[in-house]
Structure formats: C-alpha cells, structure tokens
Chain A
Amino acid sequence: MSSGEAPLLLDVRKVDKQFGGLAAVKDLSLQVPHGALFGLIGPNGAGKTTVFNLLTGVYRPTDGEIHFDGRRVDGRRPYDIATLGMTRTFQNIRLFPDMTVLENVMTARHLRSRQWLADAIIGTPRHAREERATRARARELLGIFGLDALRDEVATNLPYGSQRRLEIARALATEPKLLLLDEPAAGMNPQESLALMDLIRWIRTEFAMTILLVEHNMKVVMGICERIQVIDHGETIAVGAPAEIQRHPAVIEAYLGGS
C-alpha cells in the first residue's frame, strides 16, 4: 500500500520557509502516497509544526511547491485547503471554547453544507434536513470516539485525553482525504499513547484514510507508521521504514547528540 508505486496524495517539492533570516524549513521534499500512514519526526524545534502550517495554508512557502490530490495548494487559504480534503489537529489543542462537544463536531460539517443563509433564516425543509443529517453524523462520530455521553458538555471542560480525541473527531467530520495529526500523543502517559496508536491505526482502516503524523515521541511513530521521514533543523536527514530509521546514524545523532 505504501510502496513508491502508489499515486501520490501529497507531494511537497523543495519547499523553503524563512522567517526573516531564520530558515525554519530548508529544501523539504515529502511524498505521501494514497492510503499511507506516514510519520514525520524530529527533535524539538526541528520544524515539524512549521511543515504542518505550510501544508494547511497557515504559512506561505518562501520557495517550492505543494501539490495535494493533483492540485497545487501552496499559497491557498486554510479554508480552501480544508475544503479540498486536508484537515488537521493542533499540537496545543484548539477546540472551540464555549461550544459544546456536539457543536464542535457539527461546526466541522459546515464545509459540507449546501444551504443558503435564507434557508436558515426562514427554516426551509432543506435547512431542517441538513441540520438533522449534520447532527446524526456528528453523534455517530462522537459514538465512535466514546464521547457521545458528553455531547452537551462544554468542550474545554473535558479531560485532556478526551479533548484530544474530540479534536480528531472534529477533523474527521470534514471528511478529509488526508488527516494531519500534530503531536497527538503530546502530554499523554504511556498507557494513553498506546490507546491512541490503536485508535489511529483503526481510523486509517475504517475511514480508508491517508494519515500524516507529526510526532516527537519515537515510540508512537515506530509502532504505527510504515514510512518515516526525519527532519532536523528544517532539513531532511533520513527517509525509510521504521527499522531503517532506528538504525540510521544521522537519526541517532540528532536525537541523542553527537557521538
């Protein structure tokens, strides 16, 4: 499935990102085939989150091209990219505060909405039908993530682990082709990380989804990704299967310091 022969869903070509004089990402190329579970790792400050922000349109690359699902997407606005089928979670959870758990997930269905403002104001049958479908779909997702019982709770009142799962549920509600997970195991204990790996693997199969995972925690990535790319100081230092990566001298040096 993740062989080089599969068509590419995400193709990043020689992307640079500079902040003033600082090169956060240098000459980055990244190929994610359809259906892959791909890991992007690197030590703290390696530029992982910057890569995510480039992919999702938060930043515009200084140089290079990003192609997603056959379209060039660099320079597009984040909502455009989300509509094309790439959605993300955030390293520092960004749920919509003072909205309930259910409303958080329903909000992510907005880009699938086909009604007009007038439909909502008058309350047309189309509005009612869409609202029912949105609610049903959101509750289905909450059920999958074990959050349906908490659907009327304010999202930011949930325990940390549940907030992480809610964020994934919200991203899935947009029906993405590519799901970007930014350090999903951050702040979790080993037991929770284990459960999370289980969940990510399951999501990928169940939703037939391509997943790109940024992770600091090596164990999580090694456990589930078929292919891993390691970056340090904004540059790629290794690409390969988990077993190769673990033995790669440059990776060992980046993580453990010069030998």
Chain B
Amino acid sequence: MGPLRKVVALVGTIAILAALNHVFESGLGDFQINPYYARIINLIGINITLAVSLNLINGLAGQFSIGHAGFMAVGGYTATFVTVYYGAAIAGLVGGTLNGGPGTFVVMAVSLSAGALAAALAGLLVGVPSLRLKGDYLAIVTLGFGEIIRVIILNIPAVGGATGFTDALPITTFFWIFGVAIATIAIVRNIARSTFGRALSAIRGDEIAAEAMGVRTTRYKVMAFVVSSALAGVAGGLSGQLFANPLNPQNLNFVKSIEIVVMIVLGGIGSITGAVVGAATLTVLPEALRGFDQQFPGLRMVLYALLLILFMIFRPQGLFGRRELGWTWLRLPGRTKIPVALSDSADARQHTGRRPTDRRSTLGGSDTDE
C-alpha cells in the first residue's frame, strides 16, 4: 500500500467507526439499538482483541501460554485506576470533562496506553525467565503468573479487592473497542507477514534450525510475548471501563485464559481470521443457548460443552486451520501440485545433464570452474 492509500484507509476506518459509534450511542432516527445486543457486540470486539493478540504467541510463535487473563487484568486495572484517580485531572489539562467530548477521548487514550505499558512490562518480567522453557512448562508458568496477579489484586482495596473495581467510569465506547480490535488485527497481521513473523514461524517449526539460521530465539519469543501482553492489557482497559462491566478478580481467573485459548483453537490456531471468528462464535454461542436454560436450568452450558467437543472431533484443526481469508485464498500453500517432471529422479537427470556453466549464466558470473 502506498502512503496515500494508507492515509485514506485510516481516515475511512475512523469515519466509519465514528458513524457506527453515533448509531450505538444515540440511535439513527427512530432506530435504537437493543442494549443487550449492543453489549454482546462490544464484548465480541474485546474478545477479538484478546484472541488475535494471544494468537501472536500461541499461534505464530508456537509457545503455549495460558495466562492471557493475567495480562488483561494488569492492563485493565492499571487503565481503570488511571481514569478513576487521575481522569478528572487529565481531562482538565485539555480543558474537558469526563462526560464525553475531547476530555474523555484524551483520558481514554492515556488510560489505555498506561494499561498497555503496564501489561507489556508484566509480559517482559514473565517472559524473560520463562520463555526459555518449552511446552507444558511454559504453560504452567503462565498459568501460575495469572493466579498470582489475581490474588494480588484481590488484596488491594484501592481497586475494589474482591468486590471488583466498581468505581470505574463507563467511558469505553464502540469506537474504542472496534478501533482497538482493528488495530490489533493490523499489528498482528503486519508482524506475521514481516521478517519478524517468519522468524517466529521458524521458531515454531524448528528451533534448532532457526538458531542455526541466525534467529535469536529467546529474544523473538519475548518480543512476541510483550506485544501480545500489551494488546491484552488494552483489551482489559476497554473491558473494565465498559458500562456495568467492572473488572473482578473472580472473572479474570484461569477459566478466562482458557476461554481465550479455546477461541483461537476453535478458529484455527495460527490464523488471524480464525481468531476473529472464534472470538465472535464463543461470545455469541453461550448467549444464543440461553433459551435452553428456561426449560432446564444448566442445560445451556452442557450443550455449549457438547458443541465444542463435537467440533473438535470433526474439525480438530479449527475452522480455518492456518488459513487467512483474503486474496491469496485460492493459491494457498499446499494446494499446488508438484509437477511430475520435477520429481526426484527426473530432477537429478536434469541436474547432471546441465553443465554448471549453464547455471552460472543466470547469475552473470565469470569464474571458470573446470
């Protein structure tokens, strides 16, 4: 994309988000969005950010982390803390208030940045020692980290302790939720397609070969972990400041972490499209099954679990596998057939048949070999 197209895409996205945000907040003519649906849509957006960011570490780099809720908590509590205790002062600096307008906008930006920074720092602290571990061990360390964070928060009265951070101001809007979700998708996609993404895929594929090709494995794992944690922190900040959705240590336990893992496994681990679809599906599904509870209380979660089990039996690679929805869908790796003429023996014949000098001509070299 050229710089001009990038600016156009950015301005266009912001304009569309702002327009949709207006519909969400004040409706369109006679139309008012059902608050229940609005809430589910907002939660989908937050879960997209969580799933896509976790995909960077679990899907792309192949490191199994199950502590994402811990980073969400660090970022969420930090962001909410900044707004509750310093929000009015920050809004005052730009001459605004916390009741909407530019003041609230700045407070939101500052609080989310603080949340991202705190979560990134936590990611660095956890990542540096633990990313030398592999597989199950890393999973256990991240799980332990999540629980430690939860217990610490439980004991801080300034952020509500066990009651949850109910002092939070509801300043999160549709605009912020989906702006962050789109930014997360763009960031993770751009990393995946770059030389850093290839280095991470190489680590996932064969760590020994990756090191032999000059990839600093631990550094890149930590880098992915920090970016992933920062984005989870932003998701936490959005979640904690959403109307009537206060952060609560009970909701940020390892069950929440597992829920995010299930989202990316369902969508297809390693696929950004899959993470988005997985997040949306797992947010909507429990709500869609709510009707069953009226007939038989508890039936909903039984059906939910049953659906997940069936899904994993019949589509273990997830909805999308490693694929992405996009222009390259038609020529995905693994789809092209190897031409018969290039099979091994024919290949060897071709190779001996051609003099080395013929090959050299493609490079324009002038050295004589024989």
Question: Which residue numbers of A lie inside 8 Å of B, CB to CB?
Answer: 56-58, 77-79, 82-83, 87-88, 90, 94-100, 103, 106-111, 113, 115, 117, 120-123, 127, 130-131, 134, 140, 143-144, 146, 149-150, 152-154, 157-162, 170-171, 174, 189, 191-192, 194-195, 198-199, 201-202, 205-206, 208
Contact = CB atoms under 8 A, between A and B. Distances in A.
A202 B186 CA distance: 44
Given A79-B216, A191-B348, A154 B195 contact: no
Contacts of B193: 120
Interface residues of B, number: 55
Most-contacted residue by chain A among B190, B196, B223, B333 (CB, 10 A)? B333
B301 interface: no
B350 A146 contact: yes
Given A146-B351, A152-B333, A154-B333, A107 B342 contact: no
B191 A103 contact: no
Contacts of B84: none
B214 interface: yes
A58 B322 CA distance: 31
B217 A161 contact: no
Contacts of A191: 345, 348-349, 352
Interface of B: 1, 6, 186-187, 190-191, 193-199, 201-202, 205-206, 208-217, 223, 227, 322, 331, 333-334, 336, 338-339, 342-345, 347-352, 356, 359-360, 362-363, 365, 367-369
A110 B339 contact: no
Contacts of B205: 95-99
Contacts of B212: 56, 58, 78-79, 82, 87-88, 90, 94
A190 to B, nearest CB: 10
A162 B347 contact: yes
B62 to A, nearest CB: 10
Contact of B195 (A120, A152, A158, A189): A120
B198 A159 contact: no
Contacts of B349: 191
A217 B215 CA distance: 31
Contacts of B345: 191
Contact of A110 (B6, B199, B209, B368): B199
Nearest to A116: B196
A78 B211 contact: yes
A205 B367 contact: yes
Contact of A205 (B206, B211, B369): B369
Contacts, number: 175
Nearest to A89: B212
A198 B351 contact: yes
Nearest to A128: B1
A71 to B, nearest CB: 16
A121 B198 contact: no
Contact of B352 (A82, A149, A198): A198
Contacts of B194: 115, 120, 127, 131
Contacts of A195: 348, 351-352
Most-contacted residue by chain A among B187, B191, B209, B360 (CB, 10 A)? B209
A161 B210 CA distance: 21
B25 to A, nearest CB: 30
B367 A108 contact: no
B208 A58 contact: yes
25 contacts: A77-B211, A78-B211, A82-B214, A94-B208, A96-B206, A98-B201, A99-B198, A107-B195, A110-B215, A111-B214, A111-B215, A113-B195, A117-B191, A120-B195, A120-B196, A123-B6, A123-B190, A131-B194, A153-B338, A162-B347, A174-B213, A195-B351, A195-B352, A205-B369, A206-B365
A143 B362 contact: yes
A206 B363 contact: yes
Given A107-B195, A144-B362, A150-B338, 6 more contacts: A94-B209, A96-B206, A100-B333, A107-B202, A110-B214, A206-B365
B321 to A, nearest CB: 10
Nearest to A190: B348
Contacts of A194: 352
Contacts of A95: 205-206, 209
A94 B206 contact: yes
A153 B217 CA distance: 25
A252 to B, nearest CB: 30
A79 B199 contact: no
Nearest to A180: B212
A97 B338 CA distance: 17
Contacts of B356: 198-199, 201-202
Contacts of A115: 194-195
A161 B331 contact: no
A96 B191 contact: no
Nearest to A167: B209
Contact of B190 (A121, A130, A171, A192): A121
Given A94-B208, A152-B336, A195-B352, A140 B363 contact: yes
A97 B359 contact: no
Contacts of B333: 98-100, 152-154
A210 to B, nearest CB: 15
Contacts of B210: 96, 107
B220 to A, nearest CB: 9
B344 A159 contact: yes
Contacts of B322: 98
Contacts of B342: 149-150, 159, 162
Contacts of B214: 79, 82-83, 87, 108, 110-111, 174
B202 to A, nearest CB: 5
